[in-house]
């Protein structure tokens, strides 16, 4: 914690997966210590915890943000009370896990995974790597067989449904939610992955206007900078996009992007394409 303060960090990130039984008591206590030290240092604690028990412990330790959904079981009233009491931000990243499976299955099958990139954001080097999965087969864990790939892809559907259910529960409980993609992970590509994330949130049962708020003001709240940006208001910084269809009716209409205004400069989206898309 002292080191983080010395380098000017603005938060502390903890990766807290399910501990082995023999280590649980020690690691649980360590997480509580980290939370206390983060609070004393004035650093918000961000916790990667995808299981309900560990997510609850993170909130008891003072987590101000949970990155990724609870994906092992439905969230309960205790979790929702802890989340709302902390005013913690819940960041669902609904697609990240399934995209890992897609990427590994692509290598296992030696078949390129499809790229959903309507705006031409993905550069040629990344496309070349995605389209040549056979080149990575030599590095594949032998345990990742074709049978594993089929099971993994099948299990993704059930896990996504559970994460979507938990997202709606957090929303209905009044929890703070911020849209995020975890882009940079295999097949969660910088740029176009935002479309699928918003669409999965809408498919969970959230109305389009709620998804829009989570994708704008929600992100600003997650960074503690809601007084600087995140909505269009006098005195706030705002980059803008222009669409040909209304996203308040359906978030899939974000795909109708025509122009982008960045730092006050308006450009046609066609000028920003980095590659040609069929």
Residue 153's pLDDT is 79
pLDDT category at 71 given cuts 50, 70, 90 is very high
Average pLDDT of the residues of the chain: 93
Task: With beta carbons less than 8 A apart as the criterion, state whether 50 and 72 touch.
Answer: yes
Residue 174's pLDDT is 97
DSSP state, residue 111: -
What's the whole-number mean pLDDT along residues 112-118? 94
pLDDT category at 278 given cuts 50, 70, 90 is very low
Is pLDDT at 222 greater than 60 in this prediction?
yes
Q: State how far Cα 56 lies from the chain centre.
A: 19
- The tens digit of pLDDT for each residue in 136-172 reads 888 888 887 888 777 887 888 899 999 999 999 999 9
Is residue 18 assigned to a domain?
Answer: yes
Residue 113's pLDDT is 93
Residue 87's domain comprises: 2-236
Nearest to 65 by CA among 97, 99, 38: 38
Is residue 112 assigned to a domain?
Answer: yes
- The tens digit of pLDDT for each residue in 38-55 reads 999 999 999 999 999 999
Is residue 258 assigned to a domain?
Answer: no
Residue 243's pLDDT is 97
Global confidence as pTM: 0.92
Is residue 257 assigned to a domain?
Answer: no
Is residue 259 assigned to a domain?
Answer: no
206, two tokens: 């959230």
Is residue 100 assigned to a domain?
Answer: yes
Residues 6+ apart with CB under 8 A from 124: 274, 275
Residue 276's pLDDT is 54
- The tens digit of pLDDT for each residue in 3-32 reads 999 999 999 999 999 999 999 999 999 999
152, two tokens: 């993994």
Is residue 15 assigned to a domain?
Answer: yes
Q: How many domains does the chain have?
A: 1
Task: With beta carbons less than 8 A apart as the criterion, state whether 96 and 68 touch.
Answer: yes
Residue 156's pLDDT is 85
Q: State how far Cα 266 lies from the chain centre.
A: 28
pLDDT category at 270 given cuts 50, 70, 90 is confident
- Domain of residue 46, CATH code: 3.20.20.140
Residue 275's pLDDT is 55
- Residues 9-39, buried b or exposed e (16+ Cβ, 10 A)? eeebebebeebeeeeeeebbeebeebbeebe
DSSP state, residue 263: T
């Amino acid at each position: 914690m002292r080191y983080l303060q010395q380098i000017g960090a603005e938060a502390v990130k903890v990766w807290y997966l399910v501990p082995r039984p023999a280590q649980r008591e020690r690691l649980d206590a360590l997480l509580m210590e980290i939370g206390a030290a983060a609070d004393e240092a004035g650093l918000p604690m961000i916790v990667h915890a995808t299981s309900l028990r560990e997510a609850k412990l993170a909130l008891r330790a003072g987590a101000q943000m949970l990155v990724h959904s609870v994906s092992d079981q439905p969230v309960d009233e205790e979790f929702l009370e802890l989340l709302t009491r902390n005013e913690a931000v819940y960041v669902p990243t609904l697609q990240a896990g399934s995209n890992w499976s897609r990427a590994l299955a692509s290598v296992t099958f030696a078949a390129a995974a499809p790229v959903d990139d309507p705006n031409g954001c993905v550069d040629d080097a990344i496309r070349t790597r995605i389209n040549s999965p056979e080149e990575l087969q030599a590095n594949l864990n032998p345990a990742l067989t074709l049978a594993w790939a089929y099971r993994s892809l099948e299990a993704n559907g059930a896990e996504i449904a559970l994460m979507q259910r938990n997202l709606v529960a957090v929303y209905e409980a009044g929890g703070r939610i911020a849209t995020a993609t975890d882009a940079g992970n295999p097949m969660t590509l910088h740029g176009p992955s935002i479309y699928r994330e918003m669409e999965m949130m809408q498919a969970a049962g959230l109305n389009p206007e709620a998804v829009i708020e989570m994708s704008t003001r929600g992100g600003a709240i997650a960074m503690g900078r809601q007084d600087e940006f995140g909505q269009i208001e006098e005195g706030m910084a705002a980059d803008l996009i222009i669409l040909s269809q209304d996203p308040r009716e359906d978030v899939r209409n974000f795909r109708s992007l025509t122009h982008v205004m960045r730092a006050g400069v308006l450009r046609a989206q066609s000028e920003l394409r980095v590659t040609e898309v069929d």
